[in-house]
Amino acid sequence: MDNNKSVALFSKAQHSIPGGVNSPVRAFKSVGGTPLFIKGAEGAYMIDENDNKYIELINSWGPMILGHANPDITAAVQEAVNNSLSFGAPTAKEIDIAELICEMVPSIEKVRMVNSGTEATMSAIRVARGYTGRDKFIKIEGCYHGHGDSFLIAAGSGAVTMGVPNSPGVTEGTAKDTLLAPYNDVEAIEKLVAENKGEVAALIIEPVPGNMGLVIPNEGYLQSLRTICDREGIVLIFDEVMTGFRLAKGGAQEVFGVTPDMTTLGKIIGGGMPVGAYGGKKEIMEYVAPAGPVYQAGTLSGNPVAMAAGLTMLNYLNDHPEVYTELAQKGEKLAQGIKEILDAKQLPYQVTLLGSMICIFFTAEKVENFADAQTTDTEKFGKFFHAMLDNGVYLPPSQYESWFMSVALTEENIDSILKAIDKSLDVANQ
Ligand SMILES: *Cc1c(COP(=O)(O)O)cnc(C)c1O
C-alpha cells in the first residue's frame, strides 16, 4: 500500500497545524504511523490521496449512517447553497427540524440548535446549573462529552488516547465542581450524592459509552440513575451525541426505556455538517435565553445549509425505521463472525455490540467500565489496526473508540471485513 502522498501532506501539515490535524485522534498517535489524507468517499468506501480505497468503519465518527455522498442529502445541501450560506436570522427549516427532533426523541419538548456536540454539552450543563441553582455535576469516568473545560477530567476518546485525562489549562476551580464515578456503579453515585447533598445540579452520562470503546449498561443501571436523580432533584442529562438517531430513532433512551430530563445531540443530527443540539423538558429549556436568564448564543447556529442536511437525514431515518433493523442484522453478522474467529484462534478478547456500534477489546477482562477498558493491549491493537489498513479496512485509529456501521455496508463488505480481521489478528499476535 503506497501512502507517500499522505506522508508528504502530514509532514507539510505539521508546519501550519498543531500536530498536523484539526482533531487529535486523527493523528494516529495511539496506533503509530502516518494518518491517511482522504480525498473522497462514496457509500461504504473512503479513498485516500494515493487512490487507495478502504471499506471504512468510522463514518465520520457516526454521522455517515446512510453512507458517504448520500444523494438526498447532497441534493438538499446543493439547493440550500443557492439561497446564500447564512442569514443570521430565523428560518422556517429551523422549526421543521426542531419539531422533528421533538417527535423522534419524545423526552425533548424544546430544543436549541448549536454547532457541535461540545457546545451542546457545555450549554446543557450551564442550563442545568441555572435551573437548579447548584454548581456541581457528576460525570462518569471514561465518558467523553467534548472538550469543554469541566468535562476534560477522566474523559474518554482522544483524551484517553493522548494520555492526558486532565488537560493543562483546566483550572482546579473548574475541576472541583466535576464529581467522578465509574460507569455501571450505582453505589458510587449514591455515595457522591450523599457527600454533596443538595449541591449536585446534574448527572451527565453517555447512556451507552462509545468513547472508551463500546460499553453496555448493566441491567437496571440507567433506571437506577433516573430514580436517584428524581429523589435528589438532579437533572439527568443523556449525552446522545453518538447514540442519538443511531441506536434507534429515539436513541439509547428509547432502547433502554429510560427518560432523561435533558438530551444532548450531535454527529448524525447534521448529516455530516457541523451541528449539535440540546433539549429537554419544557420547564428546564424555558431557562434558555431569550426565554429565560441562562445565556447561550451562536452566530451560525441553525445555519441554513447545515439544517438542510440535518433535516434530510432525520426525515429519512424517521420515514425508514427499517434502517435500524437492517443495521442491527449487519452488526449481528459482523459480531458473530468476529466471535467465531476469536474462538478459532483461542483469543480471549471481548466483543461488544449494540445495533450498529461494535468494538473488540484486546483484553480477557469483561469490560464494564473505564478501568476494565484500560486493561486492553493497545500495542497489539495498533498492529491490528495497521494490518486492517493493509487489508483494505479503515477502522477508528484507537482502541478506545467504537466502530460505526452504515447502511451502505453490504453483506459482501462484511465478509471482506471478517477476512481482514482473521488475517490481521494473526499479524497482531505473531
Ligand atoms: C463526539 C462527542 C461529543 C463532542 O462532539 P463534537 O461535535 O466533537 O464537539 C460529545 N459527546 C459525545 C458522547 C460524543 O461522542
SS3 per residue for 195-230:
HCCCCEEEEEECCCCCCCCCCCCCCCHHHHHHHHHH
User: For residue 14, is pLDDT > 60?
Assistant: yes
| Most ligand 1 atoms within 8 A of CB, residue of 25, 59, 145 to mutate | 145
Which residue is associated with the grid cell 443501571?
221
What is the domain-level CATH number for residue 154? 3.40.640.10
State whether 36 and 55 are in the same domain.
Answer: yes
| Most ligand 1 atoms within 8 A of CB, residue of 21, 253, 267, 404 to mutate | 267
pLDDT number for residue 161: 47
Of 266, 287, 319, the residue that ends a domain is: 319
pTM: 0.97
State whether 373 and 298 are in the same domain.
Answer: no
Mean local confidence (pLDDT), 67-75:
98
State whether 147 and 165 are in the same domain.
Answer: yes
User: For residue 166, is pLDDT > 80?
Assistant: no
Is 144 an annotated catalytic residue?
Answer: yes
pLDDT number for residue 165: 45
Of 286, 319, 352, the residue that ends a domain is: 319
State whether 274 and 368 are in the same domain.
Answer: no
- Angle of helix 221-232 relative to helix 186-195, nearest 10 degrees? 10
State which residues form the domain around 80. Answer: 71-319
- Based on the structure, what is the number of domains in the chain? 2
State whether 136 and 209 are in the same domain.
Answer: yes
Of 319, 352, 368, the residue that ends a domain is: 319
State whether 160 and 234 are in the same domain.
Answer: yes
What would the pLDDT profile of 199-249 be if each residue is shown by its tens digit?
A: 999 999 999 999 999 999 999 999 999 999 999 999 999 999 999 999 999
What would the pLDDT profile of 340-376 be if each residue is shown by its tens digit?
A: 999 999 999 999 999 999 999 999 999 999 999 999 9
pLDDT number for residue 155: 67
Average pLDDT score over the chain: 96
> CA dihedral defined by 371, 376, 379, 384, rounded to 10 degrees?
-140
State whether 416 and 329 are in the same domain.
Answer: yes
State whether 137 and 260 are in the same domain.
Answer: yes
* Distance (Å, whole) CA 61 – CA 242: 8
Percent of the chain residues past pLDDT 90, beyond the cut: 94
What would the pLDDT profile of 370-401 be if each residue is shown by its tens digit?
A: 999 999 999 999 999 999 999 999 999 999 99
State whether 228 and 330 are in the same domain.
Answer: no
State whether 223 and 184 are in the same domain.
Answer: yes
What would the pLDDT profile of 31-54 be if each residue is shown by its tens digit?
A: 999 999 999 999 999 999 999 999
What would the pLDDT profile of 101-135 be if each residue is shown by its tens digit?
A: 999 999 999 999 999 999 999 999 999 999 999 99
Q: Is the CB of residue 118 below 6 angstroms from any atom belonging to ligand 1?
A: yes
Ramachandran angles phi, psi of 200, nearest 5°: -95, 115
pLDDT number for residue 163: 39
Among positive and negative, which fits the CA dihedral 236, 241, 242, 243? positive
State whether 362 and 407 are in the same domain.
Answer: yes
pLDDT number for residue 63: 98
CA of 117 to the centre of ligand 1 (A): 4
